Structure 1
């Protein structure tokens, strides 16, 4: 399409229409280990003793939305890390959680893909409920993924991922207070293209993806891609033979492009994904016998915990499953004028998720507990953008509207045997249901109050509308000095409701009713029971787990508004050296705790102060970037486990509010000393502490660490041998390190820090991935051997304390073992 615009506007238009990573279409930056030359370019060797300065320049060729123009990387005044399609392929990653460790400062917990957690520079939102908002914005082709249920999808025809650190609210919008992750997919091209990738590996792994790009005529093209990811799982449940850690994910994507006129383009995309696999396994930490009626010691003693990395798995959740159905469509219409560009983006997203998992790590009926999260979500997004430029300034402005309708049900499933255990451990009331049942049967009365299912649940409806207007100006004060000023106004309107349903225990209620209606000597059996027994049955006639506002619909509505500014000053000392300083504000809307009826929390706000340098040294084929930052985060919301929220001793998740501050340094280096050898290093240091906050035990957390490690980093090398069997042989090795958790007075209760004789939670983690790959010069076909976590480093990630203070059954989440396999590729 021959858009009538100047080169600056040509790269500004993707910025406006596709958000930050859209501009990367103009001039991509290779990620670590990636070949700086285009993937289809012919291989031309450069003598090792004569570095090519153009390669160093290519290391810095990257464009970002924040500046609204094409710039080499060393001239972009924001901290960012780019993940290319080649890096995704090299690491054989199927979603972002499989490779986030290679982005220092970024943590993506994908152990529950329908309820993932994103953390960047120590900032995250741990609550997955529909009443909260994430602090890290995830965007796919410029469209915001609001809910966690649709925020971690399988990679499907990805062009690149851009991780932007620090508040990105001016152009990205609401809920990017901690940063933004922008995913860009490939658009249809005018060239016929096809590609097939197949992998087979250990634990029954088989992965396939295929794409076909079809030019329809001079003005139209269609691109279709599909993927299928399957495996047998890496651990077997000894209770029922179920395999956990399985992959069962299928997705498809179709994109249609129509150049209506030389100045007008239409893009229409459709995405679909079907996920259906077992939930996250829960490894029990207390050794138990095969007698499923055995109650564990209470309270549990951490010094006797068994090692979950070597112990068998016993889970017995009746409806154990995690599944998702996702569909989405995006319509983009852009047009160029003599003075600039305009774009309209219209998007629809829909998903249903179900996640039911074991929460006691045993198969004992007397400690049975599982929880289920069920969500239904529909969202619409509309955005209009305008952009232009002159000798004095480059500008972008726009308005947007977002609407979401969400429903959520939070279930807790147990049984009357487990509630008897609760009565004994929490209330010191013995085993009332057992004693009543045994007493009745001793009298020859066939009544049993045990073995009956028990369910409690809270249902929520949420309706959100968000309106925004924004503008961003780059003032060219001189040939070397630029001043950027940006401002976004956001208005959020929310309606939210809770309904805490009366507990469901039909079989138990029928038995109690039978005791009331059946008589002995003309007297109801119920009336013959001792007063203590009648009192116990009366207690079990009500909700035990969610006791507040039972059967009473509760509704509320609130609105919040915010102005989020951005100011950046950057100076180019030379064409290859730039320094910058910035002040940015981030904002996250207020909301509600889905499990706490009537709760309300205020918006979150963060101020970030940052300075950095970006440089390329052509004579050494070296790129080096560094930044230092300090942020102040106000009213940060976290979902935490409170052992005594209800006053009954039953643990309950609440939303805790705190203020935090952090100071950090980030470094990035890429060096290509020869045509064959490429080296990379990225490191991050952060000192993140509370300035205000209280632990669940009432301890003042001010001055204590938030848990974020001091250090994290990655290092890697890639080497290419040319003319090996008429192709290129590439070796790539990447290493990632994340330091130990900085524990505080609440860490052990939350399960993020623990030291036992056999394992540690919160220690440092390491991972090494590698690939040996051969391919033809034009990449028409190739074969590769890959390994993830080559040295099989395994870690206990967290301790689940949902049932610790009730049943004495703590459980652990652990990392998966080494993955290896072989990959075959064909391209035509």
Structure 2
């Protein structure tokens, strides 16, 4: 066993001993109170008999306790995110195991769960982790407002979710739930100010929310708005432009809840975001020196100016509307979700990421999506039944332009792709109570994808042809699931489950000619087997959730070299996305919450992940064989630890809260070669220390101070490899700190 694994084992053992011994000792002196009287596990005020209460989730399309769901889920509430200084979706990984989110700029999230994900974000590829906001699937990753406006909670669903959530949830799903309109008038305004240790990287955020009844007939509404501004921690030479976590964003979300009758409610949601500012900025770092030796990575140098294009930037607009009808029909509850979204963005990028004017890149995308989902739910003492149907229609146009200013003469490439995608699905799930303690759940989904994809390329570069190539593809999938759950008592349960998932086929993001464009990758599939336990122990002061899983991941869409030249011309080998490998993934996840005293609580989680390529051999045009078989999957750290100590206490003036969190992740790889071919494709093991303190006053004012990455760890969270050439790196956020003032009003 390695030294790192020994240290992880020691930390896990120590935290488990603390959790298991401290909680019972405290519980012996506690009076008993029903857990339902506690508002939530994360927000419960300390009382003489403080206990952890069940958290309500909607992961199975109905409200139920997280502890009753026979699958691995992490529920992260808005209070935890806000108090910790976590301001976007990527920081969910700091409190959830086996999740890796590496944002390249503010509009390109790369999300991996249990070692499964994708680095592509073009029109031709699909995501592996489905993101849903208030039940609406986000077809384009750039559609997301990562700032999580008006958030209530994020549910992290781990493992394939093919039955209830459908295509492109092969790794899992992130279900973002925003706040419902209040029954009483309430609201807040807040201002946040902060900076990182990189000079000039300052930011401020302004937000407000107002909610409550609008008419005597029961109509309720919410309006939430936010303005976010950050300079960024990656400067550009000879320019005031900066990259990194930079943004200049205005966002708004409005909700109306309209009672149509005693049996039916209609919820209307509209959201809008506009963002202007620099696009992402990469740092170019030489890999090899003149003698062929690897150049050491200078972590401080990662944040010094390198790119020099002074007109880089981003213009992004996205908006959406949805209507959710909840109707009690007597025998069934009907839910209908109708949604429409549009996205438009234009980015300008220094492609070479150096002080040399070599290549420039512009990208324009316009896309839209429409979706309709209808579900019928029926619950009795004997069973819970869900039946549903789904239709989705996505359209988009994307223009990718490259301008080579070196060598002379200048070369220009304009590659336009167009997508018209339709998805149809029917699904169902039945939970049957065999006995009072034993339940069997079975479900299945059948779906079809129909895609029309068109390439239209105009190029003056010799390596690219001028061509137009239309393609039509159709795929279908059948994704069953089954689970068996046993309740030992009302507070403890165990389960075993099988589930399958599916990710749609992929077109090439950039094709050099019609032959390359015609290479289409088939869908990916996964079969997942899981065994788990969920329970409240130590008189309700310890929550323990654990799961072990085994997955067979098939037909991975990876890069292989293919000859894409016509028979009459010399061979031309280029990397194309094809089905190149299978993989086996095994893992273990443990999550605990423990009340140590009425003021102190401990959150602890540990994950082990062993994901490897079963067989992955790549032949280069030179004839050299690259054998990656047995290598770890990308973005799949073997060990992950999250631990946080929380404090909460009432005082005469109000409340005091504090949290210290440590997030440690084993080394992980950007590339399949695992550092053997491309130096620095492996990120070393890293630990991030966060802390926050908040003061809440009885008059509604709140003051919070927080810090992220307090030890200022620096590493490459994004990477583009070119062996023997400059390596383009996107570094992580350095030490960052801020202060927030919030004023709440209204309420009870």
Q: TM-score range by the shorter chain?
A: 0.7 to 0.9
1:194 aligns with 2:194: no
Residue 98 (structure 1) aligned to one of 87, 91, 103: 91
* Mapped partners of 1:169, 1:743: distance in 2: 27
* Mapped partners of 2:101, 2:37: distance in 1: 27
8 Å Cα contact 2:208/2:226 also seen in 1? yes
* Mapped partners of 1:169, 1:590: distance in 2: 15
The 3 A distance-change label for structure 1 pair 299 and 127 is: farther
Listed as ranges, the gaps of 5+ residues in structure 1 are: 1-25, 38-42, 288-295, 420-449, 504-542, 756-760
Counterpart in the other structure of 1:10: none
* Mapped partners of 1:810, 1:785: distance in 2: 37
Residue 629 (structure 1) aligned to one of 531, 539, 549: 549
8 Å Cα contact 1:28/1:61 also seen in 2? no
Deviation string 1:338-370 (CA, Å, 9 cap, x unpaired) is 2121011110010012233223232123xx123
* Mapped partners of 2:37, 2:394: distance in 1: 35
The 3 A distance-change label for structure 1 pair 346 and 749 is: farther
* Mapped partners of 1:29, 1:703: distance in 2: 47
Counterpart in the other structure of 1:4: none
1:609 aligns with 2:529: yes
Counterpart in the other structure of 1:232: 231
The alpha carbon displacement at 1:82 in A equals 0.8
* Mapped partners of 2:38, 2:553: distance in 1: 32
The alpha carbon displacement at 1:311 in A equals 6.5
Question: How many residues are matched?
Answer: 689
The alpha carbon displacement at 1:166 in A equals 0.5
Q: Secondary structure at the match of 1:380?
A: strand
The 3 A distance-change label for structure 1 pair 107 and 385 is: same
* Mapped partners of 1:333, 1:598: distance in 2: 43
Counterpart in the other structure of 2:680: 754
* Mapped partners of 1:89, 1:565: distance in 2: 38
Counterpart in the other structure of 2:141: 148
Residue 157 (structure 2) aligned to one of 153, 164, 187: 164
Q: Secondary structure at the match of 2:94?
A: helix
* Mapped partners of 2:212, 2:598: distance in 1: 35
The 3 A distance-change label for structure 1 pair 286 and 70 is: closer
Residue 628 (structure 2) aligned to one of 701, 709, 717: 701
Residue 782 (structure 1) aligned to one of 702, 712, 717: 702
Matches within 5 A, 1:436-447: none
The alpha carbon displacement at 1:244 in A equals 2.5
The alpha carbon displacement at 1:318 in A equals 5.6
1:660 aligns with 2:583: yes
Listed as ranges, the gaps of 5+ residues in structure 2 are: 1-35, 196-200, 512-516
8 Å Cα contact 1:645/1:652 also seen in 2? no
Structure of larger gyration radius: 1
Matches within 5 A, 1:441-480: 450=408, 453-480=410-437
Matches within 5 A, 1:227-626: 227-245=226-244, 246-286=246-286, 301-303=293-295, 309=301, 312-317=304-309, 319-365=311-357, 368-415=358-405, 418-419=406-407, 450=408, 453-503=410-460, 543-545=461-463, 547=464, 550-596=465-511, 597-619=517-539, 621-626=541-546
* Mapped partners of 2:483, 2:260: distance in 1: 38
TM-score by length of 1: 0.79
Counterpart in the other structure of 1:720: 648
The alpha carbon displacement at 1:234 in A equals 2.3
The 3 A distance-change label for structure 1 pair 168 and 654 is: closer
The alpha carbon displacement at 1:750 in A equals 8.5
1:764 aligns with 2:685: yes
8 Å Cα contact 2:522/2:578 also seen in 1? no
1:129 aligns with 2:122: yes
* Mapped partners of 2:498, 2:176: distance in 1: 25
* Mapped partners of 2:424, 2:672: distance in 1: 40
8 Å Cα contact 1:799/1:811 also seen in 2? yes
The 3 A distance-change label for structure 1 pair 269 and 305 is: closer
TM-score by length of 2: 0.87
1:687 aligns with 2:686: no
Q: Secondary structure at the match of 1:86?
A: helix
Query: What's the Cα RMSD here?
Result: 2.7
The alpha carbon displacement at 1:241 in A equals 4.0
* Mapped partners of 2:311, 2:338: distance in 1: 37
The alpha carbon displacement at 1:709 in A equals 1.6
Q: Secondary structure at the match of 2:164?
A: helix
8 Å Cα contact 1:498/1:598 also seen in 2? no
8 Å Cα contact 2:168/2:503 also seen in 1? yes
